[in-house]
């Protein structure tokens, strides 16, 4: 057993840690394994000081691996899905990391090839889930007004997993605003679309036009870690279709809605 070199970043609730080790302790050293690339997982954050510190820790490890020529500072870049959420300042983070890379070149003589993983930053706000309101239920003056949608955990698990926030818009005009808790269709107490930030066990109503059955409801920020993390076929719900909105406004079907037969076609 070998101690992990990294622990997840503080945004995940775990401590950032670095464990020095001897190259001879690596199993690969016994079989002639050559290490020419190092990939660290920083975690999606906005603080440039964290990026600078993690870059420096990674480069300290590279200094012990003389054949490494590529460094991947993985983990993604934080993108705000809600109006009040910050997004990473790429120029600020980039300047910090560049200084660390250049300082390493001066010390070590190696010009490293830097790799990054900007996927979430590019596509998180480029996708949305279009759902329908299928029920509206109030639980009294001391309770909540719930709007049940035909989309939830089978399409987006981030809110119920870790209290992630997504913008939600009811496509209706001329109605009074109401504090609404949005839920999905699954037989699960955790199928909540509007939890409290960072707390999937708590409810956080949204002020929106009071929804009615049949309304279209748009859940934004669904371009990353939504379709890929979907609990497809949970409660036997078919996988939703995907549609591309082209630059000219045309809609192009990318994936058909799954049929009921396809849900159970592999059962024997």
User: Cβ of 187: how many Cβ atoms within 10 Å?
Assistant: 7
- Is residue 71 domain-resident? yes
Shared domain for 260 and 163, answered yes or no, is yes
Shared domain for 114 and 133, answered yes or no, is no
Residues 6+ apart with CB under 8 A from 164: 81, 158
Domain residues for the domain of 22 are 10-122
Domain boundary among 99, 122, 145: 122
> 10-residue block means of pLDDT along the chain (268 residues)?
38 42 54 84 76 88 92 86 90 89 94 90 94 97 96 95 96 96 94 96 96 98 92 92 95 95 92
pLDDT at 202: 95
Domain boundary among 73, 91, 122: 122
Catalytic residue among 54, 133, 187, 226: 187
Domain boundary among 75, 99, 122: 122
Structural domain total, the chain? 2
Shared domain for 232 and 160, answered yes or no, is yes
Shared domain for 79 and 170, answered yes or no, is no
CATH assignment at residue 140:
2.40.37.10
226 belongs to the catalytic site? no
pTM over 0.85: no
CB 92 within 8 A of CB 47: no
DSSP-derived 3-state class of residue 50: helix
Of the candidates 60, 80, 61, 31, the residue with the CA atom closest to the CA atom of residue 197 = 80
CATH assignment at residue 30:
3.20.20.10
- Is residue 54 domain-resident? yes
Q: How far is CA 84 from CA 80, 165, 166, 178, in A?
A: 8, 10, 11, 20
Shared domain for 101 and 177, answered yes or no, is no
- Is residue 50 domain-resident? yes
pLDDT at 42: 75
Shared domain for 133 and 105, answered yes or no, is no
Cα separation of 51 and 26, whole Å? 26
């Amino acid at each position: 057993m070998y101690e992990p070199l990294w622990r997840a970043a503080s945004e995940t609730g775990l401590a950032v840690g670095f464990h020095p080790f001897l190259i001879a302790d690596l199993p690969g050293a016994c079989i002639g394994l050559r290490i020419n690339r190092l990939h660290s997982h920083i975690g999606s954050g906005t603080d440039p000081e964290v990026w600078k510190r993690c870059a420096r820790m990674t480069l300290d490890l590279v200094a012990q691996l003389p054949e490494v020529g590529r460094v991947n500072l993985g983990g993604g870049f934080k993108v705000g899905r809600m109006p009040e959420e910050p997004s990473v300042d790429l120029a600020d983070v980039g300047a910090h990391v560049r200084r660390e890379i250049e300082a390493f070149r001066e010390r070590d003589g190696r010009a490293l090839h830097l790799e990054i993983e900007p996927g979430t930053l590019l596509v998180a706000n480029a996708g949305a889930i279009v759902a329908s309101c299928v029920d509206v239920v109030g639980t009294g003056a001391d309770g909540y007004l719930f709007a049940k949608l035909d989309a939830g955990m089978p399409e987006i698990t981030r809110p119920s997993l870790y209290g992630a926030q997504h913008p939600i818009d009811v496509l209706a005009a001329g109605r009074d605003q109401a504090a609404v808790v949005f839920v999905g269709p699954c037989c699960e107490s955790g199928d909540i679309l509007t939890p409290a930030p960072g707390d999937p066990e708590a409810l956080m109503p949204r002020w929106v036009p009071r929804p009615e059955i049949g309304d279209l409801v748009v859940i934004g920020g669904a371009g990353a870690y939504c379709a890929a993390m979907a609990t497809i076929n949970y409660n036997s719900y078919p996988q939703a279709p995907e549609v591309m909105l082209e630059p000219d406004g045309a809609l192009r079907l990318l994936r058909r809605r799954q049929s009921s037969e396809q849900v159970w076609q592999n059962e024997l």
